[in-house]
């Protein structure tokens, strides 16, 4: 048995959850916040047999996409530079991060 911890953007979560449910793969949804942009993410906990991992990864890759996002970087609160004008930059966001953890026991009560 494996535990997948899957972190996705909030906007990808509903489609991913529906696609998983269609395949009878149960996931527990947790709200989370990303560290880079400090925006909402969704973290899914999925307990599955190891043989189903490729199937779940395929579903995730079909439903979770990277996007370009324009951000304006700020200075840390301790920095004060005269005449500093931040310029917007594009950064890739989204996709999914999947952690595969070994699980000694999985009990559904």
Rounded Cα–Cα distance for residues 47 and 26 (Å): 8
Q: Torsions phi, psi of 75, nearest 5?
A: -90, 150
This model's pTM is above 0.85: no
Q: Give the pLDDT of residue 107.
A: 84
Rounded Cα–Cα distance for residues 17 and 107 (Å): 21
- In this prediction, residues 9-14 reach a mean pLDDT of 91
Rounded Cα–Cα distance for residues 19 and 51 (Å): 18
Domains, the chain, in order of start with CATH, read 2-74+85-102 (3.30.70.120)
Q: Torsions phi, psi of 15, nearest 5?
A: -65, -40
Count of C-beta atoms within a 10 Å radius of residue 74: 9
Rounded Cα–Cα distance for residues 95 and 42 (Å): 12
Residue 101 has pLDDT above 90, yes or no: yes
pLDDT in tens, 65-81: 877 767 666 655 555 55
């Amino acid at each position: 048995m494996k535990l997948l911890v899957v972190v996705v953007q909030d906007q990808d979560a509903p489609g991913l959850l529906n696609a998983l449910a269609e395949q009878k793969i149960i996931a527990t949804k947790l709200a989370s916040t990303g560290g880079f942009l400090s925006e909402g993410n969704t973290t899914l906990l999925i307990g599955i047999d190891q043989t189903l991992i490729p199937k779940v990864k395929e579903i995730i890759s079909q439903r979770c996409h990277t996007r370009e996002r324009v951000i304006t970087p700020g200075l840390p609160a301790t920095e004060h530079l005269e005449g500093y004008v931040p310029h917007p930059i594009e950064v890739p966001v989204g996709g999914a991060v999947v952690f595969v953890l070994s699980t000694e026991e999985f009990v559904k009560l």
